[in-house]
Structure 1
Amino acid sequence: MQLPADAVTTAVLLEVVRISGLPTERGAPYPGRTGAHWIGNEAADALALMGSLPPGERHRCGFSPGWSVRAYADTLDLALFEAAFCFSCHEVRMQGTAVPPALTTQFFDAEALQAQALLALFREAAP
C-alpha cells in the first residue's frame, strides 16, 4: 500500500477509529468511536506496517470498512489523511489534505501476514 510520503514523515499522532457507518458527505470523516491514539514508535510502526501491505485484487462486498486510521501533524488540526480499511473486499480508501488522487483507492492482500498483523492491532484498539 502506498501512503502519502510527506504525511508519513509529518505525522505525530494516529487515531484508530472503529467505523460505524459511511460518511454522509464526500470528504467527511468516517463516523465511529475512537479506540486508541498511537504516538511515537507505536505510530511509526503502524505506518510502516500499513506501508508494507502487499497489493491485492478487488473483491466484491460493497465496501464496508471496519477500521480507520487518521494521521495528524503536530498542530493536531485537520487530519493529514484518513485511511479506511475493508478487510472483506481488500480495499482501502484514503482522503485528506495530503492524499494525491492516485492514492485514494487501493487494494491490498488481506490474507497477507502484514494485513493480519494490522487487523490484530485494530482489534486490540477496539473501544
Structure 2
Amino acid sequence: MQLPAEAVAATVLIEVVRISAVPAERGVPYPGRTVAHWAGSEAIEALALIEGLPGSEQHRCGFWPGWSIRAYEESLDLALFEATFCFRCHQVRMHGKTVPPALATQFFDADTPPAQALLALFRTVAP
C-alpha cells in the first residue's frame, strides 16, 4: 500500500480510532473513540506495516470500516492524513492535506500476514 511519503517522513504521532459511524460526507474525519496514541518507534513500525500491505482486488461490502489512523506532524494541529481500513472489502480510504487523489482509495489483501498483524495490533489497543 502506498502512503504519502512526505507525510510519513513528518509523522511524529499516530492516533488510532475505533470507528463508530460513517461520516455524512467524504473527506471528513471518521467519528469514533481514540483508543491509542503511537509515537516514536511504535509509529514508525505501524507505518512500515501499513506500507507493506500487499495490494488486492476490490471486494464488495459497502465499506464498513472498523479502524482508522490519523497521522500528525510535530505541531499536532491538523492530521497530515487519515487512513480508514475495512477488513471486509479490503479497502483503505485516505484523506488529508497530504493525500493526492491517486492514493485516496486503495485495496489490500486482508488475509495476508501483514494485514492480520495490523488487525491484531488494532485489536490489542481496543478489543
- For Structure 1 versus Structure 2, the TM-score category normalised by the shorter chain is over 0.9
Give the Cα–Cα distance (whole angstroms) in 2 for the partners of residues 47 and 70 of structure 1. Answer: 11
Query: What runs of 5+ residues in structure 1 fail to find an aligned partner?
Result: none
Tell me whether 1:23 sits opposite 2:23 in the alignment.
yes
Give the Cα–Cα distance (whole angstroms) in 2 for the partners of residues 61 and 27 of structure 1. Answer: 20
1:94 Cα shift?
0.2
Name the residue aligned to 2:62.
Answer: 62
1:25 Cα shift?
2.6
Cα-to-partner distance string for 1:33-56 (whole Å, 9 max, x where unaligned) = 011000000000000000000001
2:54 is paired with a residue of what secondary structure?
coil
Query: What runs of 5+ residues in structure 2 fail to find an aligned partner?
Result: none
Q: What is the total number of aligned residue pairs between the two structures?
A: 127
1:23 Cα shift?
1.1
1:50 is paired with a residue of what secondary structure?
helix
Aligned residue identity for 2:52: S
Name the residue aligned to 1:5.
Answer: 5
Give the Cα–Cα distance (whole angstroms) in 1 for the partners of residues 27 and 45 of structure 2. Answer: 26
Aligned residue identity for 1:92: V
Matches within 5 A, 1:71-110: 71-110=71-110
Give the Cα–Cα distance (whole angstroms) in 2 for the partners of residues 75 and 5 of structure 1. Answer: 18
Give the Cα–Cα distance (whole angstroms) in 1 for the partners of residues 23 and 4 of structure 2. Answer: 22
Cα-to-partner distance string for 1:40-80 (whole Å, 9 max, x where unaligned) = 00000000000000001111000000000000000000000
Give the Cα–Cα distance (whole angstroms) in 2 for the partners of residues 27 and 107 of structure 1. Answer: 18
Determine what percentage of the aligned residue pairs are the same residue. Answer: 70
TM-score of the pair, normalised by structure 1: 0.98
Matches within 5 A, 1:106-117: 106-117=106-117
Hey, which bits of structure 1, 4+ residues long, moved more than 6 A? Answer: none
Aligned residue identity for 1:81: F
Give the Cα–Cα distance (whole angstroms) in 1 for the partners of residues 23 and 122 of structure 2. Answer: 20
2:120 is paired with a residue of what secondary structure?
helix
